[in-house]
């Protein structure tokens, strides 16, 4: 169970120069992060998202293995809101002497054991209560899970406790898988696994010698987590029809393929069969002694 304490466990913040030293340290870290992003052929923004995911593994004590940004930001929002509530209760105690505590659990997240916040006396009361502490938080979570399952069965929905099994999440996962599979079918390297550059596909040429063609101009380059459902469906349909695909670029190649959807064979280019005379008249190959 995670216990939020904004006072006793942050004595270092009492030093007036601590935040200045922290800012200086983070500025140096950002310089190192930018150099790392350049070496990995990634944008700084994309790299910072990976860093946020890395920090989230510690903050939320969960095993996040895939860059599911929508899930990460949801966890960040929940944790920030709970910490704000805890600070409000601590300020309430300091101003009025009222002690309180708040206990929160997420029945859809097996990795979250609980959140305990509030005044120091309120938190101490819950920790030392016979039916409180970690065991009490687990019991409370178990009750919430049962309620969630009962509610789901009454409405005919699945009783699974994961809040991420939604149609939008399924579309996002499908798009991730199809793009990754299509890219790695073109770029084959036993030592390096190709990853899509969602916000800047042009980097694929420098990183893997691969070009993305057929991306619709109506959809901005962005991570699937920020796309609309209709945009995800359109990209999946284009991938299934090979209208959007990855093309291998040979070293030194100058005639790069156009970023247009691939044809279906019914619109072949017959311009080779035409010849322009000096009078700019078009003469068919059949009328010439070819």
Residue 265's pLDDT is what? 42
Q: CA-CA distance, 136 to 119, in Å (whole number)?
A: 18
Which pLDDT value is given to residue 64?
A: 42
What pLDDT sits at residue 279? 43
pLDDT at residue 215 in the model: 94
Return the pLDDT at 47.
Answer: 85
Average pLDDT of the chain, as a whole number: 75
User: Given a cut of 50, is residue 278 above it in pLDDT?
Assistant: no
Q: What is the pLDDT of residues 107-162, one digit of tens each?
A: 887 777 788 999 989 999 998 988 888 888 888 888 888 888 887 655 554 444 44
Percent of the chain with pLDDT strictly greater than 90: 14
**So what's the pLDDT on residue 254?**
53
Q: Which long-range contacts (CB under 8 A, 24 or more apart) does 71-77 make?
A: 71/164, 75/109, 76/52
Q: What does the pLDDT read at residue 51? A: 82
Quick check: 185 and 194 in contact, CB under 8 A?
Answer: no
pLDDT for 39 equals: 87
| pLDDT: which is higher, 174 or 53 | 174
Partners of residue 212 on adjacent β-strands: 246
In three state form, how does the secondary structure of the chain look? CEECCCCCCCHHHHCCCHHHHHHHHHHHHHHHHHHHHHHCCCCHHHHHHHHHHHHHHHHCCCCCCCCCHHHHHHHHHHHHHHHHHHHHHHHHHHHHCCCCEEEECCCCCCCCCCEEEECHHHHHHHHHCCCCHHHHHHHHHHHHHHHHHHHHHHCCCCCCCCCCCCHHHHHHHHHHHHHHHHHHHHCCCCCCCCCCCCCCCCHHHHHHCEEEECCCCCCCCCCHHHCCHHHHHHHHHHHHCCCCEEEECCCCCCCCCCCCCCCCCCCCCCHHHEEECCCCCEEEHHHCCC
Q: Mean pLDDT across the stretch 160-165?
A: 44
Q: Pairing mode, if any, of strands 210-213 and 101-104?
A: unpaired
133 sits in the region (left: phi over 0; alpha: psi -120 to 50; else beta) called left
For the chain, what percent of residues have pLDDT higher than 70?
68
> For residues 52 and 143, which has the higher predicted lDDT (pLDDT)?
143
175-234 confidence digits (pLDDT tens): 988 998 888 888 776 446 788 899 998 888 888 888 999 999 999 999 888 898 889 999
Q: In terms of pLDDT, which residue wins out, 282 or 140?
A: 140
Q: Is pLDDT at 90 greater than 80 in this prediction? A: yes
> d(Cα 93, Cα 97) in Å, to the nearest integer?
4
Q: Where residue 259 falls among pLDDT bands split at 50, 70, 90?
A: low
Band of residue 236 on the pLDDT scale cut at 50, 70, 90:
very high
Closest CA to 50 of 198, 207, 235, 208: 198
């Amino acid at each position: 169970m995670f216990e939020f304490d904004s006072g006793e466990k942050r004595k270092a913040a009492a030093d007036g120069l601590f935040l200045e030293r922290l800012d200086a340290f983070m500025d140096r870290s950002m310089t190192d992060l930018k150099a790392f992003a350049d070496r990995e052929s990634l944008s700084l923004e994309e790299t910072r998202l990976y860093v946020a995911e890395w920090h989230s593994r510690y903050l939320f004590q969960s095993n996040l293995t895939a860059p599911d940004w929508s899930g990460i930001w949801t966890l960040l929002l929940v944790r920030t809101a709970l910490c704000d509530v805890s600070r409000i209760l601590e300020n309430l105690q300091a101003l009025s002497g009222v002690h309180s505590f708040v206990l929160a659990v997420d029945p859809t997240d097996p990795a979250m054991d609980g959140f305990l916040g509030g005044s120091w006396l309120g938190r101490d009361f819950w920790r030392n209560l016979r039916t409180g502490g970690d065991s009490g938080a687990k019991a409370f979570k178990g009750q919430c899970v049962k309620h969630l399952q009962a509610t789901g069965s009454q409405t005919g929905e699945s009783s699974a406790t994961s809040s991420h099994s939604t149609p939008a999440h399924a579309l996002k996962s499908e798009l991730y898988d199809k793009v990754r599979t299509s890219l790695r079918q073109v770029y084959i390297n036993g030592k390096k696994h190709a990853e899509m550059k969602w916000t800047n596909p042009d980097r694929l040429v420098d990183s893997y010698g691969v070009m993305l063609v057929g991306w619709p101009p109506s959809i901005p380059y962005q991570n699937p987590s920020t796309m609309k459902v209709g945009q995800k469906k359109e990209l999946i349909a284009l991938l299934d029809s090979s209208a959007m695909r990855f093309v291998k670029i040979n070293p030194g190649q100058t005639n790069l393929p156009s970023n247009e959807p691939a044809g279906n064979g019914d619109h072949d280019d017959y311009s080779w069969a035409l010849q322009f005379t000096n009078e700019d008249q078009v003469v068919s190959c059949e009328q010439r002694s070819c």
